[in-house]
Amino acid sequence: MTNQISVENLSVITFKNKPVVTTELLAKVYGTTAHSITKNHRSNIDRFEEGKHYFKIEGSDLREFKNKVTNGDFVASRAKHLVLWTERGAARHAKMLETDQAWEVFEKLEDHYFNSKSDSPKENTLIEQKADPIMVTIPTDGRWLVVYKNGKHQVINVDGHNVVNVEYIQKLQRDSNLLIELLQNYRQRTQVLQGDKSGDILNIPLIK
């Protein structure tokens, strides 16, 4: 079977901020059939870990993914679920097929697809845009924080990071200041007991 698809020109498809390929696309570039890919997966199910080698999507995730994929040949319109292969999953299939074409294509996928330098923002990438009080472009994948600073909007990827409400930070600062004040007051009372300070401070409640 002749490979008619140029890996170098493939548009990168992402899911959960990771490049993935569908079973149909993987079969075409490896020079095999989708049935063979599925059969190898089912026959070696213990060698594939969901979230590491592949993602299985359905429901709303599947509907959103179908809308994002422009080439309908890679996703069946009536599919009730879909398996998306990660770089490690694609490598495992190349190993199982054990053909020169599969290994050659996988090397190209490594260089031009899974690890390509695209315009899509990566983790910890900061995107600066001109100030616009109405419209801010946010990528569809991942978790993003929009910050307005120095006349520009900044869209920051926060995948893998906890986002804390600023009100909690301010409350923590207030509680910390109160604790410092209490400790200082307690120290002064200790100095009274040691005879180093006037006892007037003892007439003031420790906690107001």
Compute CA distances 148 → 62, 130, 137, whole Å.
Answer: 33, 10, 13
Proportion of the chain above pLDDT 90, given as a percent: 31
Whole-angstrom distance, CA of residue 72 vs CA of residue 11: 13
Q: In the structure, what pLDDT confidence band is assigned to residue 147 with cuts at 50, 70 and 90?
A: confident
The pTM of this model reads: 0.54
DSSP per-residue string spanning 10-28: PPPEEETTEEEEEHHHHHH
Closest CA to 110 of 92, 125, 90: 90
Per-residue pLDDT tens over the stretch 102-127: 999 999 999 889 987 654 444 443 44
Contact 48, 108 (CB under 8 A): no
Per-residue pLDDT tens over the stretch 36-78: 999 999 999 999 999 999 999 988 888 888 777 765 556 766 7
Closest CA to 197 of 206, 205, 189, 208: 189
